[in-house]
Amino acid sequence: MHMHKFEKAWLTFGVAALIVFLTVLGVSAFYLGNQPPSCLTTINPEKVDTTAPFDKPGLNKVEGKEWDYELVFVASAFSYNPASVQVPLGAKVKVMATTKDVIHGFEVAGTNINMMLEPGYISEIVTTFDKEGEYLILCNEYCGAGHHLMTSKIEVVKQ
Ligand code: CUA
């Protein structure tokens, strides 16, 4: 079979790109352990205020877990509870968030934390804040007339 040299070149490029892509994906998934967040943790959106740990929004110290603190957020149109929270520098924190009404976003500006909060589900991420300062939390899912007002703040402080 005769192939034009450009065709050969493109075919080689395509196969090489595919191998690079699959290698990057494989290393990320199996070696670095990056996985899509599971949506297995559910909650009754009507009973958020009475369901632990969402009955106590804010930073809670925990014992005997892989992380030192649980940072609990409840989102609703158009605010987060708590509206501001202090986190100790360098502590391992599990951020847990859910929403009481519609879909909201949960982006911590300046970090790679960016979650979608869906009614009925708990969104979680384990992280460590290594830099002192204020981190703005914003909603990046359009949720209604007050969407642009919806913010919170994490203050990372030395202790
Ligand atoms: Cu909440 Cu946009």
- Looking at the structure, tell me whether residues 49 and 27 fall in a common domain: no
Q: How far apart are CA 34 and CA 124, in angstroms?
A: 14
Residues listed for the chain: 159
pTM (2 d.p.): 0.77
Distance 108 CA to ligand 1 centre (A): 14
Which atom of ligand 1 sits closest to the CA of residue 102? 1
Asked if 146 and 138 count as a contact pair (C-beta separation under 8 A), the reply is: no
Same domain, 74 and 111: yes
Measure 100 CA to ligand 1 centroid, in angstroms.
12
Same domain, 90 and 134: yes
40 within a domain of the structure (yes/no): no
Domain hosting 26: range is: 5-34
Q: For the chain, give the longest Cα–Cα distance.
A: 72
CATH number of the CATH domain containing 113: 2.60.40.420
Give nearest CA residue, ligand 1 atom 1.
Answer: 104
Instruction: Establish if 39 belongs to a structural domain.
Output: no
pLDDT tens for residues 41-82?
Answer: 889 989 998 998 999 999 999 999 899 999 999 999 999 999
Q: Cα of 24 to ligand 1 centre, how many Å? A: 34
Q: Are residues 18 and 81 in the same domain?
A: no
Query: Average model confidence (pLDDT) for the chain?
Result: 93
